[in-house]
Structure 1
Amino acid sequence: MASINPYLNFPGNTEEAFNFYKSVFGGEFITLQRFGKMPGCDGGEVSAADQEKIMHIALPIGGNVLMGTDALESMGQQLADGNNFSISVNADSEAEADKLFAALSAGGSIQMPLEKAFWGAYFGALKDKFGIQWMINYDYGQK
């Protein structure tokens, strides 16, 4: 079965964001590449200030991988706040849902508190301190 691997773009703080996500979910980065270490990026293609920015980072979470990059204005990339998508996490229990929701919402804003939803799940939505939208869900029928 195919897996969904969200790819997030940040305005220069990808490393901070991914260290936060790692503190929430655990695990280790399977990839961490900086612009300055990539072929073609060390000869003036990327400004000295952007050499240490993240070109690609990947953090396994369950059977999926959360990936990200720094969008570099010096390369003509422009970002809007991450309000055009959400990342949905399906927890294994209410307790896990509570833990993830509390950790991700720290410093952010709760859009919908965790509560029993009409579709037979425990569900909540939030925006984390980096402007990324998350949906936390536990289906009561799952084992």
Structure 2
Amino acid sequence: MLVQPYLFFNGRCEEALRFYRETLGAEVLMQKYFREAPPNPERPLKAGTEDKIMHCTFRVGTSELMGSDGDCEPGTNAPSGFALSVTGDDNASAQKIFNALSAGGNVMMPWQPTFWSEGFGMVVDRFGIMWMVTSPHHAGHKG
């Protein structure tokens, strides 16, 4: 069994993919636009969504995530009830990831040493996705 996060960006998926490419080195593996879907007379294409992403798959490190622009409705709530956790290769790279995701976002817990790691921080990025960023665990770390 494979469980993968599926993220909805309410009309900002293309922007989010560009941001994750720049900040996390994400690689877009596949993306399909609403205009590419076969016509369905029972669910006609909503005007203005033709050039929005209906589905995409992208890789961050060794993880694959999926995403969509979703229904592109104004006032749609930001996602909640989950966070994506990312571990850097070392403390410096983890802090760099945290700082990059923080640009235009909302820091929930500033980057700092903890009792379990040299560095940890939580941020909701500019797309409403919560990230928990941590340094790799090192045996014997006391915080």
Whether TM-score is above 0.5 comes out as yes
Please list every run of 5 or more consecutive structure 2 residues that lacks an aligned counterpart in the other structure. none
1:52-108: per-residue Cα shift (whole Å, max 9, x none)?
11011121112111221011157xxx8421222111001110111111011100011
Higher helix residue share: 1
Cα distance in 2 between the residues matched to 1:130 and 1:137: 20
1:18 paired residue number: 17
- 1:94-109 → structure 2 map (5 Å cutoff): 94-109=91-106
Please list every run of 5 or more consecutive structure 1 residues that lacks an aligned counterpart in the other structure. none
Higher strand residue share: 1
**Does the C-alpha gap of structure 1 residues 29 and 12 become closer, same or farther in structure 2, counting only changes over 3 Å?**
same
- Contact map agreement 1:7 1:68 (CA 8 A) in 2: yes
2:90 paired residue number: 93
Cα distance in 2 between the residues matched to 1:141 and 1:109: 28
Cα distance in 2 between the residues matched to 1:28 and 1:100: 16
2:68 paired residue number: 69
- 1:1-143 → structure 2 map (5 Å cutoff): 5-40=4-39, 45-72=44-71, 79-141=76-138
Comparing 126-135 with 64-73, which one deviates more in the overlay? 64-73
Deviation at 1:140, TM superposition (A): 3.2
Cα distance in 1 between the residues matched to 2:98 and 2:40: 38
* DSSP 3-state at the match of 1:8: strand
* DSSP 3-state at the match of 2:23: helix
- Contact map agreement 2:119 2:134 (CA 8 A) in 1: yes
**Does the C-alpha gap of structure 1 residues 19 and 42 become closer, same or farther in structure 2, counting only changes over 3 Å?**
farther
What RMSD, in angstroms, separates the aligned Cα atoms of the two structures? 2.4
Deviation at 1:48, TM superposition (A): 3.4
Cα distance in 2 between the residues matched to 1:69 and 1:41: 19
